Chain A
Amino acid sequence: MQLLQLLVSGTSQGCIYGLIALGFVLIYKATETVNFAQGELMMLGAFAGLAAIVYLGLPYWLALAAAVTTVALFGLATERLVLRPILGQPAFSIVMVTIGVGYVARGAVTMIPAVGTDTHALPTPFRDEIVRIGQLVLGAEHLVVIAVTLLLCGLLYALFRFTRIGIAMQAASQNQLAACYMGIPVRRLNGMIWGLSAGVAALAGMLLAPITFVHVNMGFIGLKAFPAAVIGGFGSLPGALAGGLVIGIVESFSGFYLPEGFKDTAAYVAVLLMLAVKPNGLFGETLRKKV
């Protein structure tokens, strides 16, 4: 029973990591850029939701939609203003720009008077509710996380499988130049991918908020989603979720069975092992350049 309990809490935490990792992978697949600001986008999402609930008085689910829309627009704007001008520059520079964006986002939120430096509890309809299945005691917020993640995966799958735009995105991510020749508007798609990925991050933020709290440093959880993305193989969407689950479960077990201090580093030990054994990750593809 203990085992199952740990498994469920690990899974729900892993879903959060998976959602953030999904954001990394979406952007990486489309533009070959690693977005180090993903965790900060999540933080922005949580703060946007907080503002919608506390200041506008919206119910939780409406606030969720509002937060996702706001942050998605922010993602679009970031791509347009900061990333498109340096398209084609070395990958290293682009990574540094995303680090800079994250830095500015964190600093700017801290600067909001009376809100930025505090820790807030997000009022939700399912807060502190407990579901009992047999002997199993589950927090409702954990179940909501798992359910929403499953739903989102279904939606994303449908998007990439059945819609014109999803298929265009797939084409662009496989070969940008060829997609461009086929008349696919690659630049606009890149912008949309950024919006989509920022929206997913905001969703993760709103789901995480009831479990932890809303504060300016919650974006650092994004640094734990990196190992998730690597374990899954950086270019694979199902891999990102699987990697997230692996990290979440490993973390929850090592927090219980191993001495203090191992919980926080478990994700990194796992990723180092993975890189040593199978650098391409669980679902990664191996491509070689021929000279």
Chain B
Amino acid sequence: MRFVFKTDYDQDMRLFKHGGQRFWYAMLGLALMAAPWLVSEYQLAQLSLIAIYGIAGLGLMVLSGYTGLISLGHAAFLGTGAYTEAVLTMQGWPFPLALACAVLLSAVTGVVVGLPALRVRGIYLAIATLAFGFILEEVIVRWEAVTGGNSGLAVPAAALFGAALSSTTSFYCLCILFAAAATLVVLNLLRSPTGRAFVAIRDSEVSAQSMGIHLARYKTTAFAISAGLAGLAGALYAHQLRFLSPDQFTVVQSVELLMMVFIGGIGSIHGAFFGAAVVIALPQAIGALTPKLPDALGSAVGLQPTVFGLILIGFILFEPMGLYGWWFKVRTYLELFPFYRRGMFRRQRSFQKSERLR
């Protein structure tokens, strides 16, 4: 059991709430730093992918989890970042500059897409972002002079200060570094007035507005930050896979990103990384189980999407906070040790709220 005795208002706003958290996150950092010596090269590449998807998930979390705006076109931002990075690197731009441009361009795209968000909401916004995702996908396919169209685009390895980061280990370090930086940025954002405004908008637009929050400005900011993070993930993704083609940035990919943050736990920073881990680990887990399954089931192509969909439905039905919810319950159980009650997290029944009125 842990008891945090608060003596200062600032304690509520600190990044680490108590010494235990500091200790465990330091351990996590150490483990990630030691990973190149502990795991195989293939697993290291998978860890880099988890970091990359986690960054994209963080972006979506800021938008959907904290500001409450649905985006069904996030793969488009990922694609913008990836293609900008690829094209600029091939022109001979240094990596940091190309990366900055990729993030910036994605953020600008985000602002453009966010403009309809000022007028429409809920399902209309989802459809506007969906429409945008389709259009950008088509642009990538048709603009062959720049993107290579359907035949794809080969991307060189990232190079930092003249040294190519072509080995799995060096690129892994880069990904982890960016993931940690992105997490810190988002954490700090969320405890700043801007982040509080996002949460207020999510919970009730009307009351946020009457508290003096400029809806248009904050929604646009949320879109810009979210798209910028997705662009960062896209740029790293381009260097990780070394090959880009339009079918990596389809609407299905957008939907999968959304499913990822839902499985991880919507509205939590942990959720982005938990979800990314599920997305990366699921094909491996299914691959490992295949020999044990009957042949007709194990070799079927559709097994993976079916399982992914079932996991999503299961989580929404039984654990709406996703994997983070599980983790949170276990943590609470340990922290309150003898006093945990089964009903503590019972879901409240609520009436359906109408979105038609606004």
Contacts and interface: CB of A to CB of B under 8 A. Distances in A.
Interface of A: 28, 32, 34, 82, 85-89, 91-93, 95-97, 99-104, 106-111, 113, 116-117, 176-177, 216, 223, 226-227, 230, 234-235, 260-261, 264-265, 267-269, 271-272, 275-276, 279, 287-289, 291
B356 A279 contact: no
A97 B128 CA distance: 20
Nearest to A113: B296
B259 A100 contact: yes
Tell me whether chain A's interface is mostly helix, strand or loop, or mixed: helix
Given A104-B309, A268-B134, A92 B64 contact: yes
A229 to B, nearest CB: 8
B88 interface: no
Contacts of A91: 122-123, 355
B131 A227 contact: yes
A180 to B, nearest CB: 10
A102 B306 CA distance: 10
Contacts of A108: 302, 306
Contact of B304 (A102, A107, A234, A264): A107
Contact of B303 (A32, A111, A267, A291): A111
Nearest to B311: A100
A269 B133 CA distance: 11
**Taking each of A95, A96, A216, which has the highest tally of chain B beta carbons within 10 Å of its own beta carbon?**
A96
Contact of A272 (B116, B306, B351): B116
A268 B354 CA distance: 27
Contacts of B304: 107
A32 B355 contact: yes
B115 to A, nearest CB: 8
A22 B116 CA distance: 25
B104 interface: no
The 8 closest A-B pairs by CB, nearest first: A110-B302, A107-B306, A103-B309, A268-B131, A107-B305, A104-B309, A107-B302, A111-B300
A190 B246 CA distance: 40
Nearest to A276: B116
Interface string B287-312: 00000000011001111111111101
B313 A104 contact: yes
A62 B119 CA distance: 47
Contacts of A216: 302
B101 interface: no
A109 B302 contact: yes
Contacts of B122: 91
